[in-house]
Structure formats: structure tokens, C-alpha cells
Structure 1
Amino acid sequence: MIIGIDLGTTNSACAIWRDGAAVLVPNRLGQVLTPSAVSVDESGAVLVGLAARERQVSHPLATATAFKRYMGTRHEVTLSGMAFSPEDLSALVLRSLKEDAEAFLGEAVTEAVITVPAYFNDRQRKATKRAGELAGLSVERLINEPTAAALAYGIERRGDESRFLIFDLGGGTFDVSVLELFEGVIEVRASTGDNRLGGEDFNAVLMAMMLDAMGPALAAAARTDPALHERVREAAERARRGLSGASEVVMRLVWREVEHSITVSAEGFEAACAGLLARLREPVVRGMRDSNLRPEALSEIILIGGATRMPVVRRAVAKMFGRFPNSSVNPDEAVALGAAVQAGLKARDAALREVVLTDVAPFSLGIEISERRPDGSEEAGLFSPIIERNTVIPASRVQGYQTTHPQQRHVDLKVYQGEARRVIDNVELGSMRIPVPPSRDGGLVPFECRFSYDINGLLEVDVDVPLSGYRGTLTIVDGEEAPDPAAFAERRAALAALKTHPRESEAVRAVLARAERCYESALGDARGWVNGLIGQFQGVVERQEPRAIEAAIADLNRALDEFEGDAFL
């Protein structure tokens, strides 16, 4: 069985292709969205999902979220004395989704299609694939999130030639993809985006508004006190969600027995977000320019990603194109459903009409070169693209170069990914040393460099030096060196050995963490009331009667909904 997984910044989801349709897989709590959160409790046990998310406010130093933003970097997080890389944390979320799918299907799951932002670079894609392998999954394919969303919308079943723009604003990343459908082929014409723009950045605007109202002393404290920072962040998240359906909301939090609150209007929020809304425009403009299309040539503009629920974003998109976008599929679920369609295609399900998916290189790929200036001086560290961004892949391109000096006996060929003129601002992928023979006439030695890039992000660099007959090949299997197999196996075993809470206790841990957070945010009689709810619930849990515990969980969640509004999920 191949499953489709949307590994998101805020929430993740899993789906399967079954009986001719994509079906979302419920997690152990019966929900289709699993927060991308990991927490380590006092006993050293690891919590994943809602139980971890609910501890973010009360245990900020023991909980990690939004780690997708650090994929492909050396960033490390320490939770309760245990160190985790972004890949490790993502692997724990993926492993949780894998276990949920196995419980739902009643069989082992070993293969997956995992989605990634279209604008993820090579390191980020390889890190995502490694996370899947650490979770015990064979990653059959990485598919771009906007392409997956297109499959969820069923655009491959449209009979006529059509063009679509997928506008994907998630919790931490922003992607724009322009797709064209013709004769059973979905071709990605262009992909652009911003890997540092998402719902979390809109939360930050509301956080700044709240901190301004709380005064400079508390604003300074929030920068150094994780507990206060998380209280403000949670209030901002609730306010942002509230503004999706109301003209104004009240942001409130309790800190050290004092309640702070401000009223935020939709108009005020939109004005404060002007800078972020302007950042949404540039990738759209670049995507349309790279695809060589006019806005009126688009059949539809499709919204995906939870942050597109914000009215300020929908209005911004409507202004850009002069028409309302399509949001008919749940923006939180579209990517996972599309991944399941791709899984069905990989499994060659008879219910799916064969469709060809073409993708593009999200970034330009090239090498470092030196150039001679008009005054005769040399400028080093320049980027020479060989495969340009938005080239349909798989692709193979060749370009000719020459040595810079007659006495040169080797070339240090460095491979980069990016768009900047200088390589220092791009991402280095690998390097190789090429031996160069002396030229017969004492001149410069020519050589050819060929790049071949496939749909799974594998890059092969072939160098041919005709004068000596030398031919060298560099295969880029990772943003850095290929991981040592033994070290990788050891790392996977260490993650598998982590003590995790049994599945049946997840719901108890999640609702208790939520109740404790509500207790901390309450004052006076309200705090006493929540304390009573906690004591009553713990009494039921201690009786160890499954049906009574299930009913108590539902009752406690309903009571907390009345106290603070709906839960995040």
C-alpha cells in the first residue's frame, strides 16, 4: 500500500486511494489533521500531534513546532535534554501518520508519496526524503504541493485545454505554480514562491500589535521568556482565525495574574499586514512572467493552504486578478488528497485514467565561474546557470567553458542552485576536481559540462575534456555529502527506540494539556472552575474504564470549548 502524505508546517495529513477515490486517514484521535508538533515530557516520553501542540504554551522549551522551515539546514532543537534535527522531528510526525494509516488499513505501510513546497531547494527536498526513510517509509516520489492540489481538484479530468494558477499559502511557506492541461498531460509551466512566508508571519503581526498594547517592559520580556512568547503567539493564532469570520476580535491573555486584552478590527489587521500582502504579489508576477501568460489566459485561480482562509488574503488575490479565486476544496486537505491520487497513479489503479505529470526545476542549476572585466581584471565567484529555473524536467543541458589561465592544471568545479549573480548567495550542492592537460599552443583548455536533472531531484554532472579524453561524473545525492549508511541506520534505530506514549493515552494527554493551558490563562472563579474540571476528569481516568474515559474526554472538550472557543483542530 502506497499512502500520500502532506507534511505541513502547521498541520500534516495522510490519505489513501481506495475504491476509486482519495480518502483522508483519521489519526488516533479521529481527526484528519495532525499538528506538526513534537514534545518531550518529564519522563522522557515523546508526544506527537495534538497532545504535543497543546503543551506548546505550558512547556515551550520541551515542544517544537514549525520545524519544516528549517529542513535542509543544520538547525538543531533541544527538548528536555534531547537533541533533534528538523529531519528527526519530521520523521516523528511521519512515523505517527504511518502508524495511523496502518491502524486504519489493518496492514503494514512501507511506501509513501510525500509532498513538498514547489519552491523547496535540493537540500530541503533531500532532507524531506531522509525524514521519510527515518520514519520507515520508502519514499516513492516527492511531489510539489501545488501539483498535488491540482490532482485533488481533478483538473486532469477536464476535457479541454486549460491553464490554472495554484496559490498555496500555508503555515510557513508560500508557493505559486502555473499549470497547463492538454491531452492528458499536466505540465507545470512555472513555480515560484517564498519559503519564509506563511500564516506564522501573519501571526507575528498580531503578536506585535498585542505587545505594543502591553507596554515596552512586557514586550522586552516576551523576547527572552519562552512562556510569555508562546502565550502571545497562541492569542495571535486565535485572533487570526477569528478574523476569518468576524469583523473584529478581542485578543486576550493572562500573565502573572494580570489580564491583558486588545480589540483588533479586520481593517486594522489588513493595514498592519500591508508589507506581507505586498510580498505575496512578487511570486505571482514572476510566475506569470516565467510562464509567458497573461492573467486573462488563466481558467481558474485555485487557493490551497490554511492561511488562504484569511479574508485579507482572498481579497488580495481577487485584486491581483480582478476575479474571485476558487476555494471549493478544503484548503487544509487538498494537498493530502492530491498525494493520494499520485499514490494511486504510482500503483496503477484501474479507476484512474493515465495522466502524465511534468514538473519543472524550481531553481536554476549551474557552476561557479570567473569572468574577465573590460579593464582586464578578473571577477571570480560568479554563477553560470546550465539548467534555468522552470525548465521542464527531466532535462539535460550542456554548456562549454574553458580554463582561466594557460598554466592551469586542474579545475575545481563547484555546483550551485539559486538565482543570484554571485554564488555566495546561492546554495552549494557539491564539487569535483577536474585534471586539465597543458594545451599544445599554450592557450586555454576548453571543456564541456552537462547537467542532467530528474523528477526526484537527482542531478548528474558530466564533464568532458576533449584535449585529454578525460570524462568525469558527479552525482548529487544530497546537498552535502551522502550520509554514511551505517550512521543513517544508527540514527533511524535511535528514533525508533524513543519511548512514545501508547496510542490509547493520546486523547487523555491532549485534553489534559489543553485544560492545564486554560487553567493558566484564567483568573479568579474561572480558574477554580477549570481546576474542578481537571480534578473531575482525572478521577474518571483513574477508574480505568475505557467507555467512561471516552465520554469524559468529550465532556471536558465541550466545557473547554465554552470557555475559550473551539479548539485548534
Structure 2
Amino acid sequence: MTALKPMIAIDLGTSNSLVGVFENGEARILTNAYGEKLTPSAIALDEEQQLLIGQAALELRHLGHPVLTSFKRLMGSTQNLKLGQQYFNAIELSSLILKSLKQDAEQALATTVDEAVITVPAYFNDIQRQATISAAELAGLKVSRLINEPTAAALAYGLGQSDDNCFLIFDLGGGTFDVSIVELFDGVIEVRASAGDNYLGGDDFTQLIIKQFWKKYAHAFNLEQGLIPNDIEVALKAKAQHAIHCLSKDSQTTLRFKWQSLDLSFEIQQSEFAQWAEPLLQRLRRPLERALRDARIRPEQIDQVVLVGGATRMPLVRKLVTKLFGRFPSTSVQPDEAVVRGACIQAGLKAKDQTLQEVVLTDVCPFSLGIAVGDDDQFSPILERNIVIPASRVNSYYTMQKSQRQINVRIYQGEHRLCKENVFLGELEVKLPPSDDHESIEVRFSYNPNGILDVDVEIPSTGQKLQKVVINQQNVMSPEKIAAARAQLQQLKLHPRDNLINKSLLLRAERLFSEHTGDLRLQIGEQTQQFNQVLAQQDERKIREVRQYFDAFLNEIEDLKLFDDYD
């Protein structure tokens, strides 16, 4: 009888990646060729044009060679990065990291592997999730399950817990920030809400030091302040990361940077670093507020805050969390290893490991999914964010005109009131039967844990059904889209909404719309639409009058903050 191949678990990180397996009733993290658990997500070419991955690639950075890192942030985009004489996209680069991890696992397990559970940031959109699946396929791996990073960490943390409680996973990695609120009860691990920022992570804190160093020493390189030459920035990044590591233990450190004939020293105080980082710390608050609001939980109701991700080792981050929640965070699970350990447990669940029979895990869809409606393409959510998955919901829609023979069901993902600000996923062309009246259609969205969306459309009058499985392809701008964008810019001219106060109120309303769900979101959308209608009338007196009420309404919504201001 042939033994079953093990299913591996991979934490594909922005800065570092890990691979593990669930065996003998526990998660086991596998080591790479260097005997290390962490494999840097870095790729470079040596002098012989040989491709180097991981720590070997980082070594070349000290020699001034170009090294590609942080490409996870580009997943789902069309941007290419140059390495030597070739260009690679994020899918191709990520597949190289995945292939390296696969080889490490096969070496450690002495067998071939072809199936994996892979973690993704909770706030990765559908395009980014599909890109991750494509990268795995390029690496020769079948994705058994994509699991959100904070959900995986919750699984690692909650497995050994016996008491019912509510905890918050604060996951700050190299390139992304995720937060999830999780409840434990009767052997069930239930994710109540997730939120995040795909463009906020440890790399941003590193850039603060690089920026301040360059501000002081740009003249020493006979260059003006502004963009740093790529080779200098790559070498400087390693020094900045080391400085942050030192500041995690000491109150001050010295960044020493040698470049050609230059030998420069840059003193950094921990208090000074905290001051530079204040805008980033403020950005960490918004996903926290959103997750708490969506879960309908106040900060004092959180029993424990669990820190995940290497960037949470920074004292200023821990100080922020301690101040916001009034208690010290838990670090019982190694921050760098929590995600992959949870993924190992998920792999064990998928493989039906006997030791995990009692574990039940529920997750949520971290973003809203819907379609475009109306002449101005307003977003009509069908599945609102943080709905428990798998999920299926149906909404009814009607034609705008009598005798209309076709509807284009355009599918979007996001939180903005207008579809043009959300992520376009695809469309379905629906032919309607001849009719002298308005026709109706029923649109059903079904979303599974791997981020695959099924769209079913039914025409009740005929019983006809159409189906589309949304698997995204990233598109370049077509001539039609360019024309539409140009027309949109022209519409901004000489219109009352260009007034700075009006524009500020509208932007504020759109932000609040994205931060709320349910009745509040509906109220904000209605008030915003009414204000836009008044602006369209171009009656300055009436605009001033309505603006006063609109501003007061937004103030009431804004006052629903969950945290005091952070000092």
C-alpha cells in the first residue's frame, strides 16, 4: 500500500517565508538548506547569472547587487521587476520562493510533495488570491486551501485553549497588516471580523529610517534630496533593518553605512524613531476600529491581544497596543512562527488527522462583494464584509427601462459607494425576453474559503439560469477605459463639487461609508446621494444650507470612535 504524500503548510511572507507540516499530533516547522526556519523572500543573480533565493540572495545585497524583495506587495498587479536582463512579475517571483520551500520540505521529509495550504493576508482581494494560487501552480503545488494569516495565527493560538474567551490577532508583517477578532466557545474557533491594510508593514518603518538618513546625508553623495539611487537604497535597507532590530532592545543605536569612499554614522534614538513613525501608528488604528465595529465588540471586551509578525517586536508597536487596550499583549506563540503553525494545523485538518477531530474553525470574507447599479454605477453589496464563509446570498434587481432586452451584471469587490473606486472582478451578459414592462433578475453570490466567487443569475419570468465562476485576470487599460478616465477628469471642471469644502465632505463621507456596514452604511449612502443631488443643482445658497446639515450628520458618525486619541 502506497503511503499518502504529506500536505505541507506555507507562510508566504513579504520579508520571510516558512514551511511546515502537521505530524505526530503537532505542527513541525521545517528548516532550509541553512538549517534555518526563516527563508528570506529575496531573489538575486550572482556574477555567473545564477539565480539565488533566500539568504543567499540577501548576501549579494551587501556587495551592491540588485536584490528583489517585498514583491508580495505587487501580487495581482501588472508591474514587472528587472533582474539582470529579464523582467519578472510578482507571480513568477513568488513561485520561485514557493518552489524553494517545496524543495526544502521534500529534503526534510524525504518524499515528494505536491499539495499545500498557503497563507495570505486577510485583506488580499480576489485578484491577489488568484495570483497566489497561480504562483503555487507554477511552483508545482496544488493549493488545498488558502487561509487568512490572522486566522491561521488564531488556530495556532486557540488550539490549546480550554476556556471560552475573545481575543484579537494583531498581525503586522513585513508588508501587510491584518487584524482579526476571534471567539473560542465549545471547541469552536470562530472568526468574528477581519480588517487590514495591504500596504502597511515593517518595510514602511524601515523606509522611515532610510528617508531620515538620506535627508541628512544626500549632499555627501553629491545628490539632491528626493529619489535615492536604487543600488544605494538596497544596501541602505539592510542597515536600516538592522537598526530597527537594535532599537527593539536598546534605547538608541548607530547606523553605520559605508559606500565607496564614504563612511557615515547616523545616530537614532528610540524616542526619535517613534516620532517619525507616528503617521504609521495612526494608520494601524483604522483597521482595529473597523474590525471591532464589524464584530460589535468594544476594546474592553477583548480578553487577550495576540501579537503576530516580526514587526510587532518593535517597542513602539507594543506600546500602541498596550495603550489602546489597557493591557499587555500576549506573545505566547512566537510572532514569526504563529502563522505557519496555524497553517500546519489547517493542513492536518484537511488531511483528517485523528488528533484534530474536535477542532472546528469558521472564517469570514474580509471584503464586500456586489454589483454595479444605476446610471452612476453605485455599488450594491450582495455579500457584505465579514460574513461567515462559505456564504451564499441572493438579491433581486430590475431593469431601468421598459422593454429592456439586456443587462450587464458587472461584479465588484470593495467598500466604496461608487464602483469605479472598487476592484472590478468580471461581468455577465444577461439577455432578457421581450416584454413591455420592467423585467427582474435574481443575482446570487456564493463565496468559498479559497476566495472563489460563484455568480448565478436567474430570470424568474422564464426560469433561465446563467452562471459565472469569477477567476480574475488583471487587465491593462483599454482604449475605452482611457476614454472613460479622460471624460471623468473633464467632469471635474467648473462644477460646484470642486469647492474645497464640498469635496472634503464628500471624501469624508466616502471614507465613513467604507468603515461601516448595515444601517449606518445605508444612511451615509443616502445622505451622500442627497448632497450630490443638491450640488448638481448649482444653487450656492441651497448648497450652503444643506452642507451644514450634512457636516453635522458626518460629525455624529465620526463621534462613534472606539478608542481615545493616541498620544
* Aligned equivalent of 1:234: 238
Residues 219-260 of structure 1, C-alpha deviation per residue, up to 9 Å, x if partnerless? 637725211112322221111111000000111212231212
* Aligned equivalent of 1:457: 451
* Aligned equivalent of 1:140: 144
* Aligned equivalent of 1:544: none
How far the C-alpha of 1:406 sits from its partner, in A, is 1.8
Residues 101-123 of structure 1, C-alpha deviation per residue, up to 9 Å, x if partnerless? 11111111111111111111111
In structure 2, C-alpha distance between the alignment counterparts of 1:352 and 1:255, rounded to whole Å: 54
What is the identity percentage for the equivalent residue pairs of Structure 1 and Structure 2?
48
In structure 2, C-alpha distance between the alignment counterparts of 1:150 and 1:452, rounded to whole Å: 25
Choose from 70, 73, 96 the match for 1:69.
73
* Aligned equivalent of 2:121: 117
Choose from 52, 55, 68 the match for 1:50.
55
* Aligned equivalent of 2:561: none
Q: Which amino acid aligns with 1:147?
A: T
Choose from 376, 398, 411 the match for 1:402.
398
Tell me if the contact between 1:17 and 1:344 (Cα under 8 Å) persists in the aligned partners.
yes
Q: Name the SS for the 2:426 alignment partner.
A: strand
Tell me if the contact between 2:17 and 2:40 (Cα under 8 Å) persists in the aligned partners.
yes
How far the C-alpha of 1:21 sits from its partner, in A, is 1.5
Q: Name the SS for the 1:115 alignment partner.
A: strand
So what's the TM-score if we normalise by structure 2? 0.80
Tell me if the contact between 2:145 and 2:450 (Cα under 8 Å) persists in the aligned partners.
yes
Residues 318-337 of structure 1 mapped to structure 2, 5 A cutoff? 318-337=322-341
Residues 447-526 of structure 1 mapped to structure 2, 5 A cutoff? 447-479=441-473
How far the C-alpha of 1:291 sits from its partner, in A, is 0.3
* Aligned equivalent of 1:162: 165
In structure 1, C-alpha distance between the alignment counterparts of 2:216 and 2:301, rounded to whole Å: 46
* Aligned equivalent of 1:356: 360
Choose from 85, 89, 103 the match for 1:85.
89
- In 2 relative to 1, CA 270–472 (structure 1 residues): closer, same or farther, beyond 3 Å? same
Q: How many residues are aligned here?
A: 469
Alpha-carbon RMSD across the aligned residues, in angstroms, is 1.6
Choose from 301, 305, 310 the match for 2:309.
305
Q: Which amino acid aligns with 2:49?
A: G
Q: Which amino acid aligns with 1:164?
A: F
Residues 450-487 of structure 1, C-alpha deviation per residue, up to 9 Å, x if partnerless? 11111111211111112233211111133559xxxxxx
Q: Which amino acid aligns with 1:192?
A: A
Tell me if the contact between 2:31 and 2:104 (Cα under 8 Å) persists in the aligned partners.
yes
Residues 20-419 of structure 1 mapped to structure 2, 5 A cutoff? 20-61=25-66, 63-153=67-157, 155-215=158-218, 218=221, 220=224, 223=227, 225-370=229-374, 379-419=375-415
How far the C-alpha of 1:44 sits from its partner, in A, is 2.8
Tell me if the contact between 1:118 and 1:193 (Cα under 8 Å) persists in the aligned partners.
yes
Q: Name the SS for the 2:377 alignment partner.
A: strand
Looking at both structures, which has the greater relative contact order when contacts are Cα pairs under 8 Å and sequence separation is at least 6?
A: 1
- In 2 relative to 1, CA 470–353 (structure 1 residues): closer, same or farther, beyond 3 Å? closer
How far the C-alpha of 1:57 sits from its partner, in A, is 4.4
So what's the TM-score if we normalise by structure 1? 0.80
Residues 525-553 of structure 1, C-alpha deviation per residue, up to 9 Å, x if partnerless? xxxxxxxxxxxxxxxxxxxxxxxxxxxxx
**4+ residue stretches of structure 1 with deviation over 6 A?**
none
In structure 2, C-alpha distance between the alignment counterparts of 1:301 and 1:232, rounded to whole Å: 33
Q: Name the SS for the 2:271 alignment partner.
A: helix
In structure 1, C-alpha distance between the alignment counterparts of 2:198 and 2:100, rounded to whole Å: 25
Residues 532-543 of structure 1 mapped to structure 2, 5 A cutoff? none
Tell me if the contact between 2:218 and 2:225 (Cα under 8 Å) persists in the aligned partners.
no
2:11 is the counterpart of 1:6:
yes
Q: Which amino acid aligns with 1:398?
A: V
Q: Which amino acid aligns with 2:442?
A: E
How far the C-alpha of 1:156 sits from its partner, in A, is 3.2
- In 2 relative to 1, CA 403–156 (structure 1 residues): closer, same or farther, beyond 3 Å? same
Residues 92-138 of structure 1, C-alpha deviation per residue, up to 9 Å, x if partnerless? 11111111111111111111111111111111111111111111111
Residues 58-83 of structure 1, C-alpha deviation per residue, up to 9 Å, x if partnerless? 3444x210000011111111211122
In structure 1, C-alpha distance between the alignment counterparts of 2:372 and 2:238, rounded to whole Å: 45
Q: Which amino acid aligns with 2:409?
A: L
In structure 1, C-alpha distance between the alignment counterparts of 2:235 and 2:48, rounded to whole Å: 24
* Aligned equivalent of 2:531: none
How far the C-alpha of 1:162 sits from its partner, in A, is 1.4
In structure 2, C-alpha distance between the alignment counterparts of 1:405 and 1:254, rounded to whole Å: 70
Tell me if the contact between 1:429 and 1:480 (Cα under 8 Å) persists in the aligned partners.
no
In structure 2, C-alpha distance between the alignment counterparts of 1:11 and 1:166, rounded to whole Å: 19
How far the C-alpha of 1:217 sits from its partner, in A, is 6.9
